[in-house]
Structure 1
Amino acid sequence: MNKRIINMNTTYNYYSREIRPSVIVEVFPARLPEADLEPLKQLDDDAGLAARMEEMYDSVKDEVDSALEGRGFSDSQQKILFFTDLLHRAVPFTPMGKRETAANKSVPQSLREYLDAPFAGCDVKAESLLKLLKTLDIKCRYVQFADTQNWSHAFMEVDTGDGYEMYCPTFNLWMKTNIDEIIEDPWRTRKFMELYSSEFCLDTPFGDDNGFEEFIDEQADANDHTVFKYNRSWFTCMGYYPMVPPSVLFQVDYKPYYDMRKDDRYLFVKQ
C-alpha cells in the first residue's frame, strides 16, 4: 500500500492572504438573535441555568427559525446552535497577555462559575457547553486535538439524531462532520456554518506594527463578522490545505482516541 507522506517539519502561514482552501466547501454565515444574559445572573445551579437557557431559546425560536430558514436544520440542531452562540458570547476569549495567569488556569466546575469568569479559553468554553448539554441529557462528547506543530484545540460533538456533528463555542461555528469522518479522510470536503461574532481575532501573530489593523480593515465586516477566518486551528484540523499536516492526535472525553502516527496509511518524516 502506498503511504501518504506527512512532513513533520512543514511550516506554513495561517494568515496569508494568498491561502485558500484546496477543496470546495459550502460556507454560509448566520446571525442568531442575542438573548438577554441578565436573567442568568440570578441563578446558581446548573439545572436552573440549563432550564432558563431552554426558555431563552423558546422565547426567540421564531427569530432563530427565520435566521436559519432554508438551511435544513432540525429544531434540535437549531437549539444547539443557539446554546453554542450564547456561550460564545457570554464570556470573552482569553486575551494573549492573560493566558498564563493563575486565575485563568483554573477550570470552572459549573455553568455559574463559567458565566462569572472574566475570560475563557477553548477548553473552558467547550466544557461549559458539555455541562449544559449533559444537564439537558443531550448525547455529546468532548473532543480535543493536537497537530504536528503542537497546537491544540477543544470543541464539542453532539448527536442530534443523524450522527455526531461539531459545535464550537470558541469559534462559534457548526460543521457537518465528526472526527470519525476526519480520521477516515482528513482531506474530505466540509460543510460548515459560521455564526456572527464580535471578537475580531482570538489568536494572531500580528502586532501593532505589522499589519493586523490593515488586515481587519480589508477583510472584516462589522455587520456580518465571524472569527473563523482569523483562526488557524480549523485549517489544521480539517486538512484544508495539502501542504498542511492535519491533526495527528484526538482525545474524546479526556481519553486517547486516535494517533495518526500509528496509522499504517501514513509515513511521518522530518525533511
Structure 2
Amino acid sequence: MNHPLVTAAELDATLTGGGAVRLLDVRWRLDRPDGRPAHREGHLPGAVYVDLDSELARHGEPVEGRHPLPDRADLQAAARRWGLRDGDAVVVYDDLGGQSAARAWWLLRASGIADVRLLDGGLAAWTDAGLPLEQGDAEVVPGDVTLGDDPWPVIDADAAAAWPGTGVLVDSRAAERYRGDVEPVDPRAGHVPGAVNLPTAGNLDSTGRFVDATALRARFEEAGVTPATPLAVYCGSGITAAHNALAATIAGFDPVLFAGSWSAWSNDPTRAVATGGRPG
C-alpha cells in the first residue's frame, strides 16, 4: 500500500508532471458542516467538493450514531459523481488537520481504492507553499469506478463492549469529553467502559501535520497496543476516529472502527457508561 500521507510538494510535483490524481475537498466541521461556501472561495485546482454528511454518511436511527456509514452502492454512486475511475489515485484534504478528510481516506481505502492518500497539513500546507487555488465549482466528468465488496473493518456496539477484554479500545475524543466533564452533543457523558483515551490532536504537530511514524507508534504503545493486540477506535460519531485509524496505520498497526461510536453508545440506555480519567 502507498504511504497514507502526501506532502504539498509531492502532490504539486505529481500534478505538474502530468500525473492523474483525483482531488477531493472534504471540508466539514461540527459547527459548520457545509463546506461548499469555503470550497467555492478557494480550493486546490481541480478538486471536487465532497459532502461528508450526505455522501460519506447516511441518516439512521439514534442507536446507529450521528454518522452511520453509507450504503456501499450510495458511496459508489457518489464516487462516480466525483469523477473517480478504476485505477485512479486519490488525494483527500480539508482545513481541519485531516480530521474530516480522514473519513474519506478510511472509506475509500476500505472499499478497495488502492492509492488513496491524505494531504498532510491540508489546505494550509498547500497555500503556505505558495501554491495556487481555484474558485467556483470544478467541472466533473462522471467516473466509472467500481468499489470492492469486501466487508469494511468495523465492529458494532456489542463487540466494542467486549473489546477491552482481549484488545485495546481507543476513544479519540478530547479528554474532557472522555472523562464526562462535558458533553456538548450526545445524550450522555463519559466513555465506553474499558476504553483508553488518545485524543486525535496528539497525532499532529504545531503546524497541523502528522508527527512521524515513530512518535505515533509510541503513542499507541503507551496505550497498550502491540502488533499482536487487536485495536479498535471510536470517537463521537465515527468521523475523527478515522484520524486515529490513519495514525495507527502509519504507526504500523491494523485498526478497526467502531463506526457508531459514542453517539450510538450513549443513545442506548442499556449500555453502561464510565466517567473519569481511567478506562473504568
TM-score of the superposition, structure 1-length normalised? 0.29
More strand by share: 1
The higher-RCO structure (CA 8 Å, 6+ apart) is 1
TM-score of the superposition, structure 2-length normalised? 0.29
